[in-house]
Amino acid sequence: MQAVTLLVLSTALLFVVKRWFEYRRAVRAIQDHPGSRTLLPHLGPLGFILKKPIRGITRGGFRPWRYKHQDFADIGMDIFSSITIFPKVSISIQVADPAAIKEITTHRLQFPKPVRLYRLLTFFGRNIVASEFDEWKKFRKITAPAFSERNNRLVWDETVLIMNDLFQNVWGTREEITVDHAIDITLPIALFVIGVAGFGRRITWEDDLVVPPGHQMAFKDALHIVSTDVILKAVIPNWAMKLGPTKRIRNVVTAFDELEKYMMEMIRARQTAEKKEERYDLFSSLLDANEEDEVDGQAKLTNQELLGNIFIFLLAGHETTAHTLCFTFDLLALYQEEQEKLYQHIRSIIPDGRVPTYAEMDSFTYSMAVFYETLRLYPPVRPVFYIPSALELILATLQVIGIPKYSAEDTTLVTRSDEGGNVVVPIPQGTGIVLHVPGLHYNPHYWEEPHAFKPERFLEKDWPRDAFLPFSGGARSCLGRRFFETEGIAIMTMLVSQYKIEVMDEPEFAAETFEERKARVLQAKQGLTLTPIKVPLVFRRRQ
């Protein structure tokens, strides 16, 4: 027994000594650049469960969103390091310096995307989000032409039709519409828009209430469950999912099956149509690439790549918009003076209350300012989920709130200290880098009163564009940015022109202060994107 005990203690001691030397090498590799030194990563199981930091153990979960720029302020510069010891010694560099971020996003080959972190998004097949290098180039060549001015006009026109359908056939003559959570309004709108403008699938509000023959779930519900509970699909093994131990898990299994069935029906319907219409949507570009032998000298899309890209654009095209609009309506409801400024600006362009046109989109500058300020305060940064082993599948889902990169070679980044001097940060090959979007968007060096809702800051000609990263940057910036903006401005402009938005009065919160109400209704949680928890609103028809 003593021999066994001695063996165990010796093995443990050797492990500790080995790990200590690895830790010291990591510290020297970055020349001990200031930052955190903890036993466990804040992305690990303990950080995820505890949320709050424990000195020397973990920095706490959801930290980038909870602390925003505070970690950078504490060390006095806009790049800080993080070294953790277990389960392995790991270096991470967090960046909230606009110049350094521009350097990273401009030099894509030097700072590539770690696609392994996006394995969760490849359930249906490889896609443009979960790819890099030549594979990404192929997907981008196929999809980029769909995001054209012609398609943007289609987005605007279809959004107007969807909003009019909501006003006339759903809300009708009611003077007041109450919703327990605004996402119940913004989610279907966003889904209808990406459905028709991206995939040629027109859905009305009444159609969406009906489950089609041969299906167990509506298209909207299937996509919503997939985007909400995709983590369960990743964490729970397939054999366990199929057992369906709970109603929620059974719904997830059904939703994934149903979504795949819907996507296959969309593909077959377009492929077998007798009349081949000339279309300019994303779906047509993907289908053409699947049917052709080659795309600009590269192999055509496989069936799995076709499904994978349809899925990722459906997912990204509805969830990001729905959440951003939900936060937008919430902020306008809280800040009535800003809502009134927006309303008066809209009236100055369409005083007769008519439907706004796409040609007028660039005139709605205050609408864009409100939209951008929402994106600054609540960036739709997609947490990425890396589950590298069966053990970690069971233990936790690792999440990064930011834009991940890594260094393909030994290099350096430069930032400035609060005292004004340049600081050179060594970046060893293979180091993980996170473009810390909350830290950037709340950076007081570039944004006056960064925690305040001030849309007018985006009306200034010299607003800090390099410190605004909701769509990423460089070659890998969001292809659908104009699609997203067009849809968002059309929805916001039409709704505010006809309805006043207010926070719902609830008796149990009658005594709360403005700051308490703001904290309550603007709560967010971790999801595929930053997700509002509950936004209870009232829409009152304007007279």
Query: Average pLDDT for consecutive 10-residue bins of the chain (543 residues)?
Result: 83 90 95 92 58 78 85 96 90 96 95 85 87 91 86 93 94 96 93 85 73 89 82 77 82 92 87 67 79 62 87 84 96 98 97 93 97 95 44 35 90 95 96 95 97 98 96 88 94 97 95 96 84 95 91
Residue corresponding to tokens 């009236």: 347
Strand partners, 398: 386
pLDDT reported for residue 348: 97
Res 201: pLDDT: 76
Predicted local confidence at residue 386, as pLDDT: 40
Q: What angle do CA 146, 317, 114 make, to 5 degrees?
A: 90
Confidence at residue 48, expressed as pLDDT on a 0 to 100 scale: 55
**Strand 35-38 relative to strand 176-179: parallel, antiparallel, unpaired?**
unpaired
Find out whether 326 is annotated in a ligand binding site. no
Whether residue 512 contacts residue 519, with contact meaning beta carbons closer than 8 Å, is answered with no
Residue 34 tokens, joined? 């200031």
25-62 burial by CB neighbour count: b if 16+ within 10 A, else e? ebbebbeebebbebebbbbbbbbbeeeebeeeebbbbb
Q: What is d(CA 91, CA 93) in angstroms, rounded to the nearest whole number?
A: 7
Rounded Cα distance, 74 and 77, in Å: 8
- Residue 398, pLDDT score: 37
User: Residue 37, SS3?
Assistant: strand
The span from the CA of 91 to the CA of 340, in Å, is 48
- Name, in order, each residue with C-beta under 8 angstroms of 77's C-beta and a sequence gap of 6 or more: 34, 97, 415, 416, 417, 418, 423
pLDDT at 197: 83
DSSP labels, 444-513: TTTSSSTTS--GGGGGSTT--GGG--TT--GGGS-TTHHHHHHHHHHHHHHHHHHEEEEEPP-GGGTT--
pLDDT score at 362: 95
| Pairwise CA distance, residues 167 & 173, whole Å | 8
Q: Is 524 helix (H, G, I), strand (E, B) or coil?
A: strand
Cβ atoms of residues 244 and 250 within 8 Å: yes
Contact 79, 423 (CB under 8 A): yes
Helices 481-498 + 303-334 axis angle, to 10: 40
Place of tokens 């999912």: 241
Residue 87, preceding peptide bond in cis (omega within 30° of 0) = yes
Q: Where are the beta strands (DSSP E) in 78-118?
A: 79-84, 90-95
What pLDDT sits at residue 44?
Answer: 54
